[in-house]
Amino acid sequence: MNRTSSPKQLSRPPESPLQYVKGIGPKRAAVLPAFGIRTIEDLLTYFPFDYLDRSSILPISGLKKHLNTDKPVTVIGEVFRLEIRRARRTNRLMFFLTIKDRQDYLTCVWFEGVQWFKDAFEVGELLAVSAFPEVDKLGRVQFIHPEFDRLKGAMEEDEPDWGKMFNTGAIIPKYSSTAELTRVGLDSRGFRRIIRNALKTHLPRIGETLSRDILERHGLKGMALAIEQIHFPSDTVNLEAARRRLKFDELFFLQLMLAYRKRSLEGEGNGIAFSSKSVLARQLVESLPFTLTKAQRKVLREIAADMQSAKTMNRLLQGDVGSGKTIVALMAMLVAVESGYQVALMAPTEILAEQHYRTLTAHLKGLPVNVRLLVGGQRKKLREDVLEDIRSGRAHITVGTHAVIEEDVGFARLGLVVIDEQHRFGVMQRATLREKGYRPDVLVMTATPIPRTLALTLYGDLDVSVIDELPANRRPIKTAVRTESQKERVFQFVREEVKRGRQAYVVFPLIEESEKVDLKAATEEFQRLRTEVFPGFKIGLLHGRMKSDEKEAVMLKFQAGEIQILTATTVIEVGIDIPNATVMIIENAERFGLSQLHQLRGRVGRGADQSYCILIADYGWFDAHRKGKEVRELQVERRDAAVRLETMVETTDGFRIAEVDLQLRGPGEFFGTRQSGLPQFKIASLVTDRDLLALARTEAFTLVGNDPQLRDPAHVPIRRHFEEKYRGALGLGDVG
């Protein structure tokens, strides 16, 4: 999906059109492409990251009142004095810059890059400087390594006087820059200049990208006006309107692409129409020791309707941990099997694939359904046998990891693919299926709830079913936070529960960057727990570096009760289902993301007994990691960690937890991996632009429904922009 956000690649002409913009020239034009600016359009959509306006500026004398802000503050003043001094104790050079506003003086200090900074300023030039204010030994406020923005200096010809403009109330854009850009004069001020020049000549040529009726329906400004105002707003109202328009644009065109992809996934009604008989599914329901919840029945109806129609199903099944997605998926599988088709069930890890295999086999005992497991590490003969069953169609259901579709496995009649994923199985893999010539119905199950804005973006080409209810026999898990010093009491509690016949998990964090170190720590801690804390108990260890048959053996023992206390890294995170396990201890809980904590907690509370989740958190961890980090960064981390732990104690609602997690981490980090497949927006935000996203989606899907070829003359601007920007994007063969 990343492809959508970058304009199509043209073979670049020998000369960049940028160099003819006043103030750029060949030298700067040569540097800009490395920063994604190749065309005039790129330049005009290089949006400010912030603005200076008078309401955001403090007088220097007012800084003392803002020593504890969590945002940098800005002051404006003239350069008064420049000075290099040597620190007495460390003998290092330091650069001091004093600026002066109407009443007061402020000193800014640099420890790094002294040689460069000493020549960077001139006495008398006007600067905006931003930093977290700090206090020196004498109690004076100072800025350390501030960001700065030149408002006036040795002015280049015909450059507006930003300082004067500022004083008359203008809002001045701030552009992000880098050392390399600054070297060629493209600091924030340099960008202001070239963008202003580019606007002068190119503004009249900026075309509209939306239809008039969409603009009018949502009170959106025209494109050219929005571009002008985002850079040089005449006031805050116009700035806000410009931002809204440009955000809408980004969200709309992404949703338009998803609408087309959905259309093409659905096919022209030449998908499989499964029979509506469901004898097997009914037999399964009768054999269950429980009745399905209302929510499970509702989503089953949605899935069945999709499967019976000739449209290809592409459905996302969302539900909180323990809401009973597996049984729902199994019933869908039986519908496919009964219609004479094969099913592939794919899990993100081998452990999970093996567990699904066991669960399915247990549920299907007595039914004429052949389930096979395909994972790495199987003996060759067994593997050949499984592959042969798949090829011949004898394997009704094949359970495995993604390798099932990625390798050369040939299905005789693949009709349904169920993907149990932890946000790992993205759009590309779904496309792989099609490439291999299969057109099965697809059901994607998420392991944990996803905030709505992310779901509509990442899975926006799917229909969504939500199981919004837990089985009635569940008792809410009791969650508490304890410190390191209270650990002995926590362990005592574990001993008591285990003596009563329950089982427990003790989870250690394993963070990728230091996997080896953490693994060593986890192994040592395991030895300590085994010999010192829980002597006489049966205790096991599970971690990601173990071979798959070792892992499997451990899981089987835990399931059989031969292990009472399972110490593990986060490999137990996804999907493991052992109802007798009722205690979850999470060590260093402050190191886990919120959704991950929720997912881990979901490993208990799966049976009828009261379950407990105890989060051990110790802020000592921050001291260990203090080195190299700003105090303020640590404070933010610490505050976020506290919010995470509090949220865990407060609620068990996975959808609410997911929203808080998104607020804290932002969309890129939400999934715990950068390759989440989320598009890079220039201005829209999946955290804050929820309502706008909903509007944009409705408009885009309505448009594709009413005028799929975009033939209506009123839709020409949309069509032109879409073709230009998104041509070549996945699955758009049928546009235009």
Kindly list the residues in this chain that would bind ligand ADP in the complex (CB under 6 A): 290, 292-293, 296, 319, 321-327, 471, 473, 577, 579, 606
- By beta-carbon proximity to ligand ADP, the closer residue of 111 and 290 is 290
- By beta-carbon proximity to ligand ADP, the closer residue of 79 and 328 is 328
CA–CA distance, 19 with 27 (Å, rounded to integer): 8
Strand 50-52 to 172-174 pairing = antiparallel
Beta strands in 441-517 (DSSP E): 441-446, 463-467, 478-482, 503-507
Say if residues 77 and 101 touch (Cβ distance below 8 Å).
yes
Judge residue 486's burial from the number of C-beta atoms within 10 Å of its C-beta, 0-12 exposed, 13-18 middle, 19 or more buried: middle
- By beta-carbon proximity to ligand ADP, the closer residue of 259 and 566 is 566
Which sign does the torsion angle of CA 557, 560, 564, 567 carry?
A: positive
Please report how close the Cβ of residue 407 comes to Mg ion at its closest, in angstroms. 24
- By beta-carbon proximity to ligand ADP, the closer residue of 426 and 579 is 579
Closest by CA position to 337, among listed 304, 373, 368: 368
Please report how close the Cβ of residue 292 comes to ligand ADP at its closest, in angstroms. 5
Please report how close the Cβ of residue 568 comes to ligand ADP at its closest, in angstroms. 18
Please report how close the Cβ of residue 329 comes to ligand ADP at its closest, in angstroms. 8
Please report how close the Cβ of residue 286 comes to ligand ADP at its closest, in angstroms. 14
Please report how close the Cβ of residue 719 comes to ligand ADP at its closest, in angstroms. 42
Judge residue 146's burial from the number of C-beta atoms within 10 Å of its C-beta, 0-12 exposed, 13-18 middle, 19 or more buried: buried
Closest by CA position to 533, among listed 486, 491, 476: 491
User: Which does residue 473 bind out of Mg ion, ligand ADP, none, counting CB within 5 to 8 angstroms by kind?
Assistant: ligand ADP
CA–CA distance, 174 with 52 (Å, rounded to integer): 7
- By beta-carbon proximity to Mg ion, the closer residue of 300 and 693 is 300
Please report how close the Cβ of residue 730 comes to ligand ADP at its closest, in angstroms. 29
Say if residues 18 and 197 touch (Cβ distance below 8 Å).
no
Q: How many residues does the chain have?
A: 736
CA–CA distance, 5 with 621 (Å, rounded to integer): 39
Assign 271 to helix, strand or coil. Answer: coil
- By beta-carbon proximity to ligand ADP, the closer residue of 393 and 579 is 579
- By beta-carbon proximity to Mg ion, the closer residue of 359 and 432 is 359
User: Which does residue 647 bind out of ligand ADP, Mg ion, none, counting CB within 5 to 8 angstroms by kind?
Assistant: none
Please report how close the Cβ of residue 352 comes to Mg ion at its closest, in angstroms. 8
User: Which does residue 606 bind out of Mg ion, ligand ADP, none, counting CB within 5 to 8 angstroms by kind?
Assistant: ligand ADP
Say if residues 344 and 418 touch (Cβ distance below 8 Å).
yes
* Residue of closest CB approach to ligand ADP: 324
CA distances from 450 to 256, 327, 328, 473, 659 (A): 21, 20, 19, 25, 8
User: Which does residue 322 bind out of Mg ion, ligand ADP, none, counting CB within 5 to 8 angstroms by kind?
Assistant: ligand ADP
- By beta-carbon proximity to ligand ADP, the closer residue of 296 and 588 is 296
* Residue of closest CB approach to Mg ion: 575
CA–CA distance, 161 with 153 (Å, rounded to integer): 9
Please report how close the Cβ of residue 646 comes to Mg ion at its closest, in angstroms. 27
Please report how close the Cβ of residue 321 comes to ligand ADP at its closest, in angstroms. 5
- By beta-carbon proximity to ligand ADP, the closer residue of 194 and 555 is 555
CA distances from 391 to 32, 376, 398, 410 (A): 54, 18, 11, 5
Please report how close the Cβ of residue 451 comes to ligand ADP at its closest, in angstroms. 18
81: which strand partners?
A: 98
Closest by CA position to 581, among listed 500, 508, 525: 500
Please report how close the Cβ of residue 62 comes to Mg ion at its closest, in angstroms. 56
Please report how close the Cβ of residue 227 comes to Mg ion at its closest, in angstroms. 47
User: Which does residue 319 bind out of ligand ADP, Mg ion, none, counting CB within 5 to 8 angstroms by kind?
Assistant: ligand ADP
Residues 6 or more apart from 515 whose CB is under 8 A from it?
none
Please report how close the Cβ of residue 578 comes to ligand ADP at its closest, in angstroms. 9
User: Which does residue 323 bind out of ligand ADP, Mg ion, none, counting CB within 5 to 8 angstroms by kind?
Assistant: ligand ADP
Say if residues 482 and 562 touch (Cβ distance below 8 Å).
no
Q: Which helix (H) or strand (E) covers residue 701, if one does?
A: helix 690-706
CA–CA distance, 272 with 307 (Å, rounded to integer): 7
- By beta-carbon proximity to ligand ADP, the closer residue of 451 and 679 is 451
CA–CA distance, 131 with 106 (Å, rounded to integer): 12
Please report how close the Cβ of residue 326 comes to Mg ion at its closest, in angstroms. 5
DSSP symbols for 159-172: ---HHHHHHTT--E
CA–CA distance, 18 with 41 (Å, rounded to integer): 10
User: Which does residue 68 bind out of ligand ADP, Mg ion, none, counting CB within 5 to 8 angstroms by kind?
Assistant: none
Judge residue 330's burial from the number of C-beta atoms within 10 Å of its C-beta, 0-12 exposed, 13-18 middle, 19 or more buried: buried
Strand 141-144 to 134-135 pairing = antiparallel
CA–CA distance, 652 with 320 (Å, rounded to integer): 9
- By beta-carbon proximity to ligand ADP, the closer residue of 203 and 327 is 327
Assign 202 to helix, strand or coil. Answer: helix
In the complex, the residues that contact Mg ion under the rule CB under 5 A are 326, 575
User: Which does residue 174 bind out of Mg ion, ligand ADP, none, counting CB within 5 to 8 angstroms by kind?
Assistant: none
- By beta-carbon proximity to ligand ADP, the closer residue of 293 and 342 is 293
User: Which does residue 292 bind out of ligand ADP, Mg ion, none, counting CB within 5 to 8 angstroms by kind?
Assistant: ligand ADP
Residue-wise burial string across 188-203, b where 16 or more C-beta atoms lie within 10 A, e elsewhere? bbbbbbbbbbbbeebe
Please report how close the Cβ of residue 325 comes to Mg ion at its closest, in angstroms. 5
Query: Hey, what are 276's tokens?
Result: 């509506």
